[in-house]
A = this chain, B = another copy of it.
Amino acid sequence: MLQESEYIRNLRQNQHKITPQRLSLIKYICDNEGHFTAEEAFTKLRESEPTITLATVYNILKIFTSSGILNTFEHKGSRWFETNSALHINFICDGCGKIEDIDTADITPLIRKVRESGNTFTSGTILMRGYCKKCAKSREDHH
C-alpha cells in the first residue's frame, strides 16, 4: 500500500504540479484502499473540494495510471482504478458487487506463458466472478 508521499513524489518526478485537487484525490486513494470509479472518487472529493469536476478527476487519474502508480480495469461499463500494483486476482461478487483482491504466487507461471509465446509483458488484469461466501450462503438459504 503506497503512502501519500509516494504519489506526491510521482507527480514531482513527472513534472506535474501539486494542486489542492490532486492532494485531495491522493488522500482519497490512500484512505480508501481498494477499488473505485472516477464517479465515486468525484462524489467523495466534492465534499472537501466543492468546485472539483469529474473531468479534473479523470485528468488526475490519467496521470497516475499512465505512470503506472495506479492500475485500471473495465467492469460494468466503467473504468475502475485500484491501488494494488502487483498482479493479483480481482474477485467480483455477482451478488453484492464487492471486489476482493486475492494475492497469489500462482500467477507467475501465467506471465511466463505469455513470454513463451514471444510477447513482452507489461501489465495485466485478472477478473473472476462468482458469489462471495456471504452471498453464496444467503442464496443457499433460499432453497
Contact = CB atoms under 8 A, between A and B. Distances in A.
Contacts of A114: 89, 91, 102, 128, 130
Number of copies of chain A assembled together: 2
A131 B111 CA distance: 13
A127 interface: yes
Tell me whether chain A's interface is mostly helix, strand or loop, or mixed: mixed
B119 A131 contact: yes
Interface residues of A, number: 36
Interface stretch (A1-9, A14-22, A23-31, A69-77): A69-77
Contact of A131 (B73, B93, B120, B136): B120
A79 to B, nearest CB: 8
Interface of A: 73-75, 77, 89, 91, 93-94, 100, 102, 104, 106-107, 109-111, 113-114, 117-133, 136
